[in-house]
Amino acid sequence: MEIRLPYVAGAFYPGHADVLLKAIKDCFLDKEFGPGGLPEGKIEGLKVIGGVAPHAGYVYSGPCAAHLYKRIAESNIDNPTVVILGTNHTGFGPLVSMNITRDWQTPLGVVKTDREFGRALLDSGIVLEDESAHNWEHSVEVQLPFLQYIFHDDFKIVPIVLSRLSVNEIRRLGDTLYEVSKDYDRDVIVIASSDFTHHGYNYGYVLFKENEIENVAKLDLSFIEEIKNLDLNAFLEKLRKVNATVCGYSSIATLMEFSRHHGAKVNLLKYYNSGELTGDSSLIVGYAAISFEK
């Protein structure tokens, strides 16, 4: 079986297994930006069906991501299929690009892809098999070590990278994920890999000239309020009004549509932005961990 080798190991996260494991553990134990503890036992009645996780370098967004993965680890889920909806940063490939012909390697080992689930998505016609969108893309890859930390080898993935989708395409993909998953013989989790607002001249987006760190947080939290309400139209309209730079809005919106079918409850586990972390207000990226639960 062909292997998709790690592309950003040693850059976005440590490239050696022992150092990577320590970095992930430190993200969980971070008391200021992380959850402040390692995953514990299962929480009675908790079932996480999806989540939003950031995809920046672990030194920036790893503690935020740890909030979601702790919640998933404590959920009543065994041996799941994890559909990872990444963000297309490279421009390669079709609008909805899936790569199930390869398993995926990280410094912690090889992650199996769920080809059966993936083939069912291909039958829908909206998802296309494509390697080019995945070869140099980090947004799926950075989620894998966290999943390996909490599930070890007891999970499979369906890696999908999304470009800018229309509302009709978002609804169609979310509906398809629900239809394929509802009678599937494994637990299914959908992870939307996305950062929030990118603010600063280097990002070509300057909405605020003062109190940038606080104002970016307020803006992102206004988007998150619509996510919590599972109000797809309101979420997309708020983004449109400010020409938002939420890179993975298509992934988040698809997860919202998928979760609407489940009647999911949405919880903001953690939000902060890089300005709060570093004190630098000239370049700011927002990070959120959001769980979708039944």
Whether 133 shows a pLDDT value over 80: the answer reads yes
Q: Tell me if 114 sits within 8 A of 143, measured CB to CB.
A: no
pLDDT per residue over 229-247, tens digit each? 999 999 999 999 999 999 9
DSSP-derived secondary structure letter, 270: E
Written as six digits, the tokens of 98 are: 């899936």
C-alpha to C-alpha distance for 182 and 135, rounded to whole angstroms: 30
Number of neighbours of residue 102 by Cβ within 10 angstroms: 17
Confidence of residue 68 (pLDDT cuts 50, 70, 90): very high
Q: What is the mean pLDDT of residues 116-121?
A: 97
Average pLDDT rounded to a whole number, residues 264-280 = 98
What length does the chain have? 294
Token pair, residue 247, equals: 């890179």
Query: pTM for the full model?
Result: 0.97
Q: Domains in the chain: how many in total?
A: 1
Rounded distance between C-alpha atoms, residue 116 and residue 158, angstroms: 10
At 55-66, the pLDDT tens digits run: 999 999 999 999
CATH of the domain at 7: 3.40.830.10
Tell me the mean pLDDT in the region 42-69.
98
Provide the pLDDT confidence category of residue 1 given band limits of 50, 70 and 90.
Answer: confident
**Residue ranges making up the domain that contains 284:** 3-293
Q: Mean pLDDT across the stretch 35-43?
A: 97
Q: What is the mean pLDDT of residues 165-173?
A: 97
Average pLDDT of the chain?
98
- pLDDT tens, position by position, 71-96: 999 999 999 999 999 999 999 999 99
State how far the Cα of 292 lies from the Cα of 294, in Å rounded to an integer. Answer: 7
Residue 65: predicted pLDDT: 99
Angle between helices 232-241 and 212-228 (to 10 degrees): 160
pLDDT at 198 over 80: yes
Q: DSSP per residue over 86-114, as a string?
A: EE--S--S-SEEE--SSEEEETTEEEPB-
**Cβ atoms 84, 140 nearer than 8 A:** yes
pLDDT exceeds 80 at position 137:
yes
Reduced to 3 DSSP states, what percent helix, strand and coil does the chain have, rounded to the nearest 5?
40, 20, 40
